[in-house]
Structure 1
Amino acid sequence: MAAAAKRPGPAPNCRPCCSWCCRSSCLLRRLPARLRRPGAWTRRLPRPHLRPRPRWPSTTWGASICSSRKSPCARRMARSCCASGCRSTCCRGRAPGCRCRCLRCRRARVCSSRRRRIPTCRCPRSSCRCQVRLPWLARLLPACAACCFCGCLMAMQARAADDAAPAALIVDVEVNGAAQGAALSALRQGGRLLFSRADLQAWRVVVPDRTAAVVDGVDYYDLAALPDGSVTLEESTQTARVSLPATAFVANALAGKAAGRPALTPSVNAAFVNYSVALQHDRNGTAASGLLDGTVSGHWGLLANSVLVGQTAYQDAAGVSSLARTVRLESYYRLDDPDSLTRLTVGDAITQNAAWSTPSRFAGLQFGTQFGLSPGYISYPVPSLTGGAAVASTLEAYVNNTLHYQGQVASGPFSLNNVPVLTGAGEMSFSVSDALGVRRTVTTPYYVSTNLLRAGLSDYSVNLGWSRRNYGLRSNDYGSMFAAGNWRRGLSDTATLELHGEGGPRLQVAGAGLTWVWAPLGEFGMHGATSRSQDTGSGRLARVSFAHIAPEWSFSASRQTASAGFMQVAWLDSQTHTTGQAQLFVGRSLGRRLGSLGLAYTALRYSSGDEAKVLSLNHSIQLGAVYLNTYVARTDSGATAASRQRVASVGLMLTLPLGERQTASATMGRNNGRTTTTIDVSQTPPSDEGLGWRVVASHGETERAQAEATWRTPYATFTAQAVELDKETSARVLAEGSLGYASGMFFAAQSSSDGFALVTVPGAAGIRIYRENNLATTTDGEGRALVTGLHAYEANRISVDNGDLPISAQVHSDVLQVVPSYKGVAVATFDISRDASVTMRVLLPDGSPLPAGIDVVGENRAAPLITGYGGALQLDRPRAGERFEARWRGGRCSFTVGPVSTAGTLPQIGPYTCETGTPASSVSAR
């Protein structure tokens, strides 16, 4: 063993050597530097070729070592190996005595590794020429990787070449089976079909965010990249078939009812007084009373003042005496802004109340929102229908199985808004039918409440002033100063928040509430308030409510209670007020044949301790042309059991229409064992002009006979009435109307508390003016008339009858849309043209008529006139001083039109002499 440690040199008779154990022992020259480190490659190469280390004999170092039967080299390769210091591999180096060369390096001493099965190369990097002979599969891996890399690179280059050079293609396009008109230009790029932005917008397709190609500044997009989208090209017909879902199209917004506000018509300054004057005579004497409501209005707003006047005559022991009395009711200035839906009031006003509070009258300043300035504006949330259609289809919307909308809808998502619905619960459905007859129906429940606000919408009111006391009894009776405010906000389409506060030096009140809808159950409400008063101390109020209104069932219930110390501004000057109330109503529709049934219960508790309870049951039904209504009621009132009063009543009423304006009714009621029967026959007067009357007779508990007649004229309404009640007779005469002044015109008309219109038909007297196709009035001698009864801030239809206009008048439009302000006088002028046609004769200088069929050219006229027989010419819109020139073969002449008169049915002017040579400046008619 000691001799073996000296490493003898190579055996002299060493010839060939095996290479089986050396072919995986060297490194490739191209391996990275980290693998060329000594020993690094041995940890990465597969090791199945390694075998247990053979036992080497210790006696002889020579060829017999490699020929050992235990040596894998000798057994497998049948060759001898050199033993010059190499124990585990064969070497073919050029070491002395060795004719083989090492596969790892060219120096034999490098291959002499100590006790290593696979020697490690220790050559300097500059002189090492190691080579590795890996298994054939391992040797193919680099080549395969190189081939794959080259193939991928070539494919990417080919695709890049395709992307860089798209080809134009003319194709017909079908989107979801619907042809899109004429053929268009598309791009083919690598098997894809691209379309321009303009084409996508024409098809109402949502433009993708990513552009597929840009050619000549035009963006092209790949519709197949959209979710669930596909594009197929049919080569035989050059047709591109595009399939897209409904969500890929631009949404359609449909409106069931336009909510736009019409523009306000310009108004003029006007002053008028609405009056209602009555003269009554009975056994106590004669009394005169009247209500006068004066207004001055213009574009700057309006000033209003109303008073109640009265005079009572009676006879006493000394003779006849009278008492005159005047009470001012309201005085205020008001300015409306329809654009912002706000109103400013300075003077007498009424506070805006919350669900639990009581409104109060005051004098001061008020500012807040006023949705009534736009009658078509919907402040509460209404249901909307949303859906989608892959192709153009027909949309039908139903509300409670009643058709409310029908129209065409393009492909894509759609939403139908502002569908007119009734308040309460119901079902809304829509049906979509395409051209192939495929029908799809979707039904959804809804609940609509006018007590809610749309999401994000606010309603507010700010009040500052002095509380009004004894309204209608005293003119200027005001209390202490206070401030009040109310604010509502739509948190969502199903919930609305409300805040309310009011107070002054002696009283402060604050409250909040929430109203929400839970479809299809109904509307819920919860409110609470607290107050602090120097007189009553602190107090609290609570209110809960629920309502469900449906076509068949209706139910509502509310409960409000306040503690003894709770107080409001409206209660300060009242002797008693309501401290608790409970209401319940149940209604049921039994169908057309059975009618409807209703049950109501109301309980009130007052601060004085009194209570009142009313329970009623009613049933109504239509039997042919007769309406039958029956009721049963019970009333229980009183503070204590001793003072409590109970009244039971039952009644029956029949109503029968007798004509267009005639109605007859019969009522029979029994109250605490006493029966009363009443017969009432009436005829309402027409809206424009005519007579009306009424006759009433009662027998039973009350004996009553009444007769009255009404005469309505364009200027006023007069009523005469005679009544006999329990053998006492009284008579009354009433006159109602309006007197005023507007734009230099005094007028007398029917009273109106809304809007007026000053209608002008230039130069046309006696023209009938219609309001909503109903005769309203006629024009005066100057062609002016005042129309009453218009709806403020709404479009009112004012028209004239063309048959009333003279034949020489031409009206451009016989209908006007007038939008007046509140108690304002809007200006409505019809555009009437009086430039009629005239007939004139033209003569030559010798007195003969101008030849027929020649052209007569006029200044500033587009077309020439042609003469008729006898030198007659038909001239439209003649103007004095207008010059004409007649031309014919061989001659010409000219003439000038003199003064023009269009009086008469077929006006004629002339004759005129046509002078030859230089045109005359003026030619007089003969």
Structure 2
Amino acid sequence: MSGRHPLPSLRLLPWSALAAGLACVSASASAGPPTLPVPLRLPSVVSVQPASGVEIRYRRLEDTDIPTSPGRLEGIVSGRRWELRSSALLSPQAQASHRMARLDTGWQWRASGPLQTVVLGDTLASGGGWSRPVRLGGLRIGRPLALRPGFDALAPNGVAGAAALPTAAAPMSLAWAQASSDRLAGLFGRAPAPGLLPVSGPVELAAGASDYEFEAGLLRTGWGTEADAYGRGFAAAAWRRGLGGRMTGEARAEVSSVRRAAGLELVRGFGAPGNLVHGVVAQSEADGGVGRRWGLGLARQALGAAWRLSWDTFDREFTPAGAVPGEAALRSRLEAAVRGSLGRRLEAGLSVGHQHVWEAPAEHVVALSLRWGLASGRSLALHLGEQGGAQDQRHARVVLAIPLEPRRR
């Protein structure tokens, strides 16, 4: 059984906890890790505005109803065209000295000229259509940041402690399959929940329109852990332009002290807005090895449903951004997902994935979800899944969601 608190309620999170969180967020690293005096039982989502231009947000990081699971506390001070953000990880079940840890601190300025957006501090390099996002401490300018579907910006540790954001497709799991159809929302431009980064699939630009992004700084590893550190330098630049005939092209390059990579993405729109096919090709050079990757994808809305199909293949020597020694190298990956309505109150989703890793058995996952909308905001969901490969398992779950307070008319 699960529920959600309404956002504007000041009773949900004690002001003493918010004050402690903000103190943690702004604390100097030299002062040592701040602590919370007693275990907290925190809500899943809360947002308060104690003053004009000041906002405090909290969001539980895990999809669970356990009130003591980890969460992200964020403080925002904003002006007419700028924002100062700082966030911390709350772990109520951890030892007292490790219940709070700094996550990100950064200043953002929204410009109307060629700069578009300027971020100074902790940020992300987007990864474009063929690479993967990495955490940086440094500078980002250009178009606003948007992540491709499938990456989790809130999960600690990244890829086995690397700077790269974790992707739910490697290794494949039932958790990936159950969330795959939900990622279709990002492909068709739905607004993100408050406090979350926008998610966007390939973009179709009008003929002659263009945008860009540039990121440079130090790669950040161990995000959200005691091993948090800034390491080697990294820089990336991308330029995107509408070529006419509903064709859009983007070129991107990345460089660090141990790796160089470059690639292209072509997007072709067809039919209704948001329907498109896209392809990528890229090459990386690291530790004397040169490898390539290719990919094709389709995103479409038809028959009252959203559809996604993608295929990628990788050379053994292709090195992704933020790679660490011993990381499993992908060989090929096939993903398919569909989500749509079967009636006024019934929604269904189906996800299928098949993946090969070099020198490892193939993996596959299949997941089906059904959700019935009930009266008074209640819902009943059924999740079925099967995973095969290194771990064979089946999964079945029924979830009844009941609001904690009556819906307001």
Provide the residue aligned with 2:167 in structure 1.
none
Q: Is the 8 A contact 1:309 1:326 kept in 2?
A: yes
User: 2:355 matched to 1:604?
Assistant: yes
Q: Is the 8 A contact 2:117 2:144 kept in 1?
A: yes
User: 2:402 matched to 1:649?
Assistant: no
Provide the residue aligned with 2:88 in structure 1.
307
Q: Is the 8 A contact 2:126 2:145 kept in 1?
A: no
Q: Distance in 2 between matches of 1:277 and 1:646?
A: 33
Q: Distance in 2 between matches of 1:575 and 1:646?
A: 22
User: 2:297 matched to 1:516?
Assistant: no
Q: Is the 8 A contact 1:289 1:308 kept in 2?
A: yes
Query: Over residues 573-622 of structure 1, what are the superposed CA-to-partner deviations in whole Å (9 max), with x where a residue is unaligned?
Result: 784465532112356765659x6655421123446736431113445567
RMSD: 4.2
Any residues of structure 2 matched to 1:679-690 within 5 Å, and which? 681-684=402-405
Cα–Cα, structure 1 residues 456 and 571, in superposed 2: closer, same or farther, change >3 Å? same
Counterpart AA for 2:363: A
Residue 123 of structure 2, aligned match among 349, 352, 361: 349
Q: Is the 8 A contact 1:334 1:345 kept in 2?
A: yes
Cα–Cα, structure 1 residues 623 and 308, in superposed 2: closer, same or farther, change >3 Å? closer
Counterpart AA for 2:277: F
**DSSP-derived class of the 2:322 partner:** helix
Provide the residue aligned with 1:526 in structure 2.
279
Query: Over residues 272-321 of structure 1, what are the superposed CA-to-partner deviations in whole Å (9 max), with x where a residue is unaligned?
Result: 5737699xxxxxxxx9998654445445734333334668787xxxxxxx
User: 2:380 matched to 1:614?
Assistant: no
Provide the residue aligned with 1:37 in structure 2.
none
Residue 358 of structure 1, aligned match among 132, 148, 158: 132
Cα–Cα, structure 1 residues 612 and 685, in superposed 2: closer, same or farther, change >3 Å? farther
Counterpart AA for 1:529: A
Any residues of structure 2 matched to 1:804-815 within 5 Å, and which? none
Structure showing greater relative contact order (alpha-carbon pairs closer than 8 Å, 6 or more residues apart): 2
Q: Distance in 1 between matches of 2:239 and 2:116?
A: 14
Percent identity for Structure 1 against Structure 2: 25
Q: Distance in 2 between matches of 1:367 and 1:575?
A: 30
Q: Distance in 1 between matches of 2:375 and 2:77?
A: 50
**DSSP-derived class of the 2:392 partner:** strand
TM-score norm. by structure 2 comes to 0.60
Q: Distance in 2 between matches of 1:597 and 1:288?
A: 29
Any residues of structure 2 matched to 1:903-922 within 5 Å, and which? none
Counterpart AA for 1:683: L
Larger Rg: 1
**DSSP-derived class of the 1:531 partner:** strand
Residue 328 of structure 1, aligned match among 61, 82, 102: 102
Instruction: State the shift of 1:522 in Å.
Output: 4.9
Cα–Cα, structure 1 residues 298 and 607, in superposed 2: closer, same or farther, change >3 Å? farther
Number of aligned residue pairs: give it: 299
TM-score norm. by structure 1 comes to 0.29
Q: Distance in 1 between matches of 2:94 and 2:144?
A: 44
Q: Distance in 2 between matches of 1:652 and 1:538?
A: 47
Cα–Cα, structure 1 residues 516 and 647, in superposed 2: closer, same or farther, change >3 Å? same
Provide the residue aligned with 2:22 in structure 1.
none
**DSSP-derived class of the 1:488 partner:** strand
Q: Distance in 1 between matches of 2:94 and 2:379?
A: 44
Any residues of structure 2 matched to 1:135-174 within 5 Å, and which? none
Cα–Cα, structure 1 residues 572 and 489, in superposed 2: closer, same or farther, change >3 Å? farther
Instruction: State the shift of 1:686 in Å.
Output: 7.9
Q: Is the 8 A contact 1:585 1:601 kept in 2?
A: yes
Instruction: State the shift of 1:561 in Å.
Output: 1.5
Cα–Cα, structure 1 residues 288 and 555, in superposed 2: closer, same or farther, change >3 Å? closer
Counterpart AA for 1:343: T
Any residues of structure 2 matched to 1:254-653 within 5 Å, and which? 274=56, 293-299=74-80, 301-308=82-89, 323-324=97-98, 327-338=101-112, 342-370=116-144, 451-474=203-226, 477-492=229-244, 494-519=246-271, 522-534=275-287, 537-552=289-304, 554-572=306-324, 575-576=327-328, 578-586=330-338, 598-606=349-357, 609=360, 611-619=362-370, 629-638=381-390, 645-651=391-397
Q: Is the 8 A contact 1:613 1:637 kept in 2?
A: yes
Q: Is the 8 A contact 2:246 2:270 kept in 1?
A: yes
Cα–Cα, structure 1 residues 310 and 647, in superposed 2: closer, same or farther, change >3 Å? closer
Q: Is the 8 A contact 2:57 2:74 kept in 1?
A: yes
Q: Distance in 1 between matches of 2:329 and 2:407?
A: 43
Q: Distance in 2 between matches of 1:629 and 1:289?
A: 25
Contiguous gaps of at least 5 residues in structure 2: 1-50, 61-67, 147-186, 190-200
Cα–Cα, structure 1 residues 544 and 307, in superposed 2: closer, same or farther, change >3 Å? same
**DSSP-derived class of the 2:131 partner:** coil
